[in-house]
Structure 1
Amino acid sequence: PENKKATLVAELTNDIKRISPPKFYGTTLGDGAENWLNKMEKYFAIRNFFEETKVIWGAYQLSQEASLWWDSHKDELKIDESNITWDQFK
């Protein structure tokens, strides 16, 4: 399983260089987070992401305030990104 994940991550890294998924910087305005989640789901569908890698890549696309919030949230709740589903992440 770990070897498979390493291979998947390497392949996805190459793919991500060709088609960039959207970044999310955090917002308090309207449906900004929901729009980003929808764009990520479209990106995942186009790239045929495996469920196990969605949260890892979703979290990777968080930047600035959004990244700080997620890091704090996952540490506080002791969340392991590799053990939660995309639906739980949302």
Structure 2
Amino acid sequence: MHQLVEQFFKLKPSKFNGTGDPEAAILWIKELEKAFALLRCSGEDKVILAVYQMQGNTSNWWEATQGKVFPEGTDLAWNAFVKAFNIKSFSDYVWEQKMYEAKFVELSRYAPRLVDEPVEWARRFRDGLKPEIKSQLVPLNLKDYNELYERVQLIERDTAERAAASGS
């Protein structure tokens, strides 16, 4: 284990403090998974190393939650950890939008003619959004997918912040 920890730290993995930004949470997990693949970590090693990289609110959350995720006598499983982390990091609403975006990108590979043009790619993505998000974007008539996706993220973040502020 000592050698694994040493190799892990040589890769300079980032810490995570739970900034509230869903994108930061996704990127942190992806970064860790790349390091874990390189080091050929076991599921238990992955959880131990990831927990060590947590700081602030995220560390406090894990201290309060770990007994529920891994009751005494349960093996530490990476998938269970990631599932709990994602539930903590994303509201259902944000998670649903992330899944839609990922599915859209995945499926677009099978119908390249339908999304050959960047404008068409953006339009089709926009048309598949939830009505409450779509209605805010249609008047902007955004033709660039990256800009459209960035706006969707801003709307999601704003919606989540307002929901948190109102207590719903």
Aligned to 2:22, what secondary structure does the other structure show?
Answer: coil
Between the aligned partners of 1:27 and 1:62, the Cα distance in structure 2 is 11
Segments of 4+ moved more than 6 angstroms: none
By percentage of residues, which structure has more helix?
2
User: What is the alpha-carbon distance in structure 2 between the residues aligned to residue 80 and residue 58 of structure 1?
Assistant: 18
Query: With structure 2 as the length reference, what TM-score do the two structures score?
Result: 0.43
**Residue 48 (1) aligns with residue 44 (2):** no
Q: What percent of counterpart residues are identical? A: 30
- The CA deviation at 1:80 is 5.5
State yes or no: 1:61 paired with 2:46.
no
Higher relative contact order (CA 8 A, sep 6+): 1
Length-normalised TM-score, structure 1: 0.75
User: How many pairs align?
Assistant: 81
Note the residue ranges of structure 2 that are not aligned, 5 or more in a row.
83-168
The Cα offsets for residues 22-58 of structure 1, whole Å up to 9 and x where unpaired, read as 2111121232211111111011112221222111111
CA distance 1:78–1:40, shift in 2 (3 Å): closer
C-alpha distance in structure 2 between counterparts of 1:44 and 1:63, whole Å: 19
Once superposed, what is the RMSD of the aligned Cα atoms? 2.1
Structure 1 Cα separation of the partners of residues 76 and 5 of structure 2: 21
2 CA distance for matches of 1:61 and 1:30? Answer: 17
Of the two, which has the highest radius of gyration? Answer: 2
The answer for unaligned runs of 5 or more in structure 1 is: 1-8
Indicate how the Cα distance of structure 1 residues 74 and 49 shifts in structure 2: closer, same or farther if over 3 A, else same. same
Task: Tell me, yes or no, if structure 1 residue 79 matches structure 2 residue 70.
Answer: yes
Q: Does 1:10 align with 2:2?
A: yes
